[in-house]
C-alpha cells in the first residue's frame, strides 16, 4: 500500500511525532508532504521516511479564523492542491494528519481521484476552533473522507457532536515503543545535578508553551506547595504564543518563584528529563484530545497528575494509574503534588500499575496494525466502488 501523508506543520508537535510513528512501517512506500519546513522534516529524514516540503509560504489561517480570513487563504492553498493532485497519482491513498491538510487533501482527492483518510487529532469544540473552522472541517470530512481516525473517544464524540458522521469514525489511540522510554544510560541524578535540582521535589511539565496547555496553573499550584517543590517547564511556544511566554515569566516574578521554576525550552531529550522528575504534571485548561506526555510519563515510570478533560480521562484513573484534577483548579493540583511529595511509597505502586497498563494499552505495534487494517478496508471499498 502506497500512502501520501499530508501535514501542515514543519514543527514538532504531538501530531507530528505521532505521524512519524504511523509512517515508519511505510517508509519504502510513502511520501510525507509538509506545508512548511522545519525540524519535523529533519526528524523524518533521520528515520529515512521520504519527505517533501510543498510550500514555503505560510498559510495564514489560525484556529479561530473567520470565514473571510479562510477565503483569503485560498490563494495559498490552490498551488498546494495542484501539487498534491500530481503527487497522488503515484499513491493509493491520501492521509491528512491536520486540519489544513484535510482541506488540501479533500480537494485533491476529487481530482486525483484517491480515497482520503483524515487522522483527527483535535477536539472540534468552540474552546479550540472558530465556528467557521469547525464547519469547514466537518463538511469536508463528511463529504470526502472514507475514514476519520480519532486519537480518543473524546475526539470522536466532539466530531460527532459538531455534525460529523459517526459511521466513518474509528478510535485509534496513539502508540508508543516502550523500549524508547526504558533507556538505561539516562542517569537521573546527573541530570538533576546539571540542572541544579538536587534536594528538590521536581515537577516536570512537558508541553509547548500555550495558554490552553495551562503552565500558569502549575505556577499557581507551585506557590501553594512546600518550598522544596520546584518545576521544570520543557517546551517552547511553537505557534507564536509569545505573549503567553511573557505572561509566564511575569507570573514567576509576581509569585516569587524565581528559584523554583526553570524554563528549559524545546528539548529532544524528553526521556532523561522525565526520569529526572519526581512527578509529571499535565495541566491543560481545555479538553486535551489525547495527551502524549501522559503516556510518556507512565512509560518513563514517573507519576502523572493530569487535568480531567477530553481524552485524558481515558488514559488516567485516579489512585490507580495516576491522579486527575479539575481543569484550572490549582489548589487541587497543589494538594496532589504535596501528597506525592509526602508519600513516596503510595506513589510507587501507582507508577508500577500505570507502567504495566501503558505498555499493554498503547503499544505502537498494535496501533500500527490497527491503522493498517483500517487502511486496507478503505482501499478495498474504493476498488469495489470503482469496479461498479
CB 265 within 8 A of CB 209: no
- Please tell me whether residue 13 binds ligand UDP under the rule CB under 6 A: yes
- Alpha-carbon distance values, 273 to 121, 194, 266, 269, 288 (Å): 26, 11, 12, 7, 22
Contact positions with ligand UDP (CB under 6 A) in 233-252: 234-235
Q: If binding is defined by CB under 6 A, does position 130 make contact with ligand GLC?
A: no
User: Which residue among 26, 290, 323, 325 contacts ligand GLC (CB under 6 A)?
Assistant: 290
3-state secondary structure (DSSP) of residue 351? helix
Angle separating helix axes 14-23 and 39-46, nearest 10 degrees: 20
- Residue number closest to ligand UDP, CB atom: 14
- Nearer to ligand UDP by C-beta: 230 or 284? 284
Q: Which range, of 2-10, 287-295, 317-325, 355-363, touches ligand GLC by CB under 6 A? A: 287-295
CB 229 within 8 A of CB 257: no
- Choose the one of ligand GLC, ligand UDP, none that binds residue 235, judging by a C-beta under 5 to 8 angstroms depending on kind: ligand UDP
Tell me how far, at minimum, the Cβ of 32 lies from ligand UDP, in Å: 17
Q: 170: closest CA among 141, 208, 134, 203?
A: 141
**Residue of 3, 4, 6, 15 that binds ligand UDP (CB under 6 A):** 15
Sheet with 261-265: strands ordered across: 261-265, 229-234, 201-206, 279-281, 304-307, 323-325
Interface with ligand GLC in residues 308-367 (CB under 6 A): none
- Residue 151 binds what, of ligand GLC, ligand UDP, none (CB under 5 to 8 Å, by partner type)? ligand GLC
* Contact between 121 and ligand GLC per CB under 6 A: yes
Task: Verify binding: residue 266, ligand UDP, rule CB under 6 A.
Answer: yes
Distance in Å, CB of 151 to ligand GLC, minimum? 4
Measure Cα distances from 236 to 114, 222, 245, 267 in Å.
37, 20, 8, 9
User: Which residues in 171-200 contact ligand GLC (CB under 6 A)?
Assistant: 174
Own/partner pairs for 138-142, CB < 8 Å, 24+ apart? Answer: 138/162, 138/163, 138/164, 140/102, 140/103, 140/106, 141/102, 141/106, 141/165, 141/168, 142/168
Q: Pick what 100 binds: ligand UDP, ligand GLC, none; C-beta below 5 to 8 Å, kind-dependent.
A: none
Among ligand GLC, ligand UDP, none, what does residue 88 contact (CB within 5–8 Å per kind)?
none
Question: Quick one: what does residue 267 bind among ligand UDP, ligand GLC, none, with the CB cut-off 5 to 8 Å set by partner type?
Answer: ligand UDP
Interface with ligand UDP (CB under 6 A), residue from 188, 291, 303, 310: 291
Q: Where are the beta strands (DSSP E) in the chain?
A: 3-7, 30-34, 51-53, 93-96, 116-120, 145-150, 169-171, 201-206, 229-234, 261-265, 279-281, 304-307, 323-325
Q: Which does 278 bind (CB under 5 to 8 A by kind): ligand UDP, ligand GLC, none?
A: none
Report residue 388 as a C-alpha cell. Answer: 461498479
Our finding on whether 206 is near ligand UDP (CB under 6 A) is yes
List residues binding ligand GLC (CB under 6 A).
Answer: 13-15, 18, 121, 151, 174, 288-292
Amino acid at each position: 500500500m502506497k500512502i501520501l501523508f499530508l501535514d501542515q506543520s514543519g514543527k514538532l508537535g504531538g501530531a507530528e511525532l505521532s505521524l512519524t510513528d504511523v509512517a515508519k512501517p511505510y517508509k519504502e512506500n510513502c511520501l510525507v508532504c509538509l506545508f512548511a519546513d522545519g525540524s519535523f522534516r529533519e526528524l523524518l529524514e533521520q528515520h529515512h521516511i521520504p519527505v517533501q516540503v510543498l510550500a514555503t509560504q505560510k498559510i495564514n489561517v489560525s484556529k479561530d479564523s473567520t470565514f473571510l480570513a479562510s477565503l483569503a487563504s485560498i490563494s495559498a492553498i490552490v498551488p498546494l492542491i495542484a501539487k498534491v493532485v500530481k503527487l497522488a497519482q503515484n499513491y493509493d491513498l491520501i492521509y491528512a494528519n491536520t486540519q489544513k491538510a484535510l482541506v488540501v487533501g479533500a480537494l485533491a482527492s476529487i481530482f486525483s481521484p484517491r480515497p482520503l483518510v483524515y487522522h483527527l487529532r483535535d477536539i472540534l469544540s468552540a474552546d479550540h476552533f472558530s465556528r467557521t473552522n469547525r464547519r469547514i472541517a466537518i463538511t469536508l470530512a463528511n463529504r470526502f473522507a472514507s475514514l476519520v481516525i480519532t486519537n480518543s473517544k473524546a475526539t470522536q464524540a466532539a466530531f460527532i457532536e459538531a455534525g460529523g458522521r459517526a459511521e466513518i469514525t474509528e478510535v485509534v489511540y496513539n502508540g508508543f515503543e516502550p523500549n524508547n522510554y526504558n533507556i538505561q544510560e539516562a542517569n537521573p541524578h546527573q541530570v538533576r545535578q546539571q540542572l541544579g535540582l538536587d534536594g528538590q521535589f521536581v515537577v516536570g511539565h512537558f508541553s509547548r508553551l500555550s495558554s490552553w496547555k495551562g503552565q500558569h496553573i502549575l505556577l499557581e499550584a507551585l506557590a501553594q506547595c512546600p518550598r522544596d517543590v520546584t518545576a521544570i517547564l520543557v517546551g517552547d511556544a511553537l505557534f507564536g504564543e509569545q505573549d503567553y511566554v511573557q505572561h509566564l515569566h511575569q507570573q514567576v516574578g509576581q509569585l516569587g518563584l524565581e528559584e523554583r521554576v526553570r524554563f528549559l525550552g524545546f528539548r529532544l531529550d524528553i526521556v532523561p528529563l522525565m526520569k529526572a522528575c519526581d512527578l509529571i504534571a499535565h495541566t491543560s485548561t481545555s479538553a486535551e484530545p489525547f495527551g502524549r506526555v501522559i503516556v510518556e510519563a507512565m512509560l518513563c515510570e514517573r507519576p502523572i497528575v493530569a487535568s480531567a478533560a477530553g481524552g485524558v480521562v481515558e488514559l488516567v484513573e485516579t489512585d490507580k494509574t495516576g491522579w486527575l484534577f479539575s481543569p484550572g483548579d490549582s489548589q487541587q493540583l497543589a494538594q496532589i503534588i504535596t501528597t506525592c511529595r509526602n508519600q513516596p511509597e503510595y506513589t510507587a505502586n501507582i507508577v508500577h500499575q500505570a507502567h504495566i497498563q501503558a505498555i499493554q494499552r498503547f503499544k505502537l505495534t498494535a496501533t500500527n496494525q490497527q491503522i493498517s487494517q483500517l487502511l486496507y478496508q478503505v482501499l478495498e471499498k474504493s476498488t469495489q466502488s470503482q469496479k461498479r
